[in-house]
Amino acid sequence: MVTKAALATTALLAAGLIALSACGGGGSSAPSSDAPPAAPAALQTQMVKVIKDLSPSVVQIQCGNALGSGVVFDSQGDVVTNAHVLNGASSCSVTLSGGDKHSARIVGSSVGNDLAVVRLSGATPPAATFAESNNVQVGDFVLAMGNPLGLRSSVTQGIISSLDRNVAESSTVELSALIQTSAEINPGNSGGALVDLAGEVIGIPTLTAVDPEFGNMQAPGIGFAIPSDTVRQVANKLIAGA
């Protein structure tokens, strides 16, 4: 497994070599090649691996007319998502990354944390690994995986922009200690996975900032996710109380 530290070190070394090549004087010129530099190629390879490995653990959830995403939490078929994705429904359907659809019952919901758990019937897709979000740093590369606008298994990329953001989700719910990311989070991404380059879930994408000066349109590149430490704690309580 390629660690974040190893990738960062490789990238810095590559950047230094590129700078020296651009500023240096004599010596033979480097042979031309269509291949990308080693560090970007390694980063791309790791991103592709993360997406391939984690995709089976990221599902689409439909509750009534509401569409969202979810992440397989354990080997029992429990799926964690946002409470607002449930949309007041008593049951949901879940579509796996391969297209198979299954019914799911609601295990529990915590509106104040905007988290919920549903349990799949007839399938136990692989569970994702949830990282310790207190180790996340601003500048870390991340991927947002989900089903925006019903487009199953879509991925965007960005960085961790800030930590410990408090954001009002509604007039009655304020979410605290959120992770801010530049990865695009669109309608339908709610409940999906914010993933680091080790392939571990560091948060659950929940909402996007809006700009009141432009009719409350979504502000691109300003999204928020519930930290995985909070997700684990709340999901375990909901499952234990079922």
> Which residues carry out catalysis?
84, 114, 190
β-strand pairing of 154-168 with 174-181: antiparallel
CB 105 within 8 A of CB 121: yes
Q: How far is CA 230 from CA 11, 39, 184, 206, 216, in A?
A: 31, 33, 22, 13, 28
Centroid of chain to Cα 233: 18
Give the DSSP H or E segment for 42: helix 38-54
DSSP state of 100: -
- 159 phi and psi, to 5 degrees? -130, 170
Reduced to 3 states, what is the DSSP secondary structure of residue 227?
strand
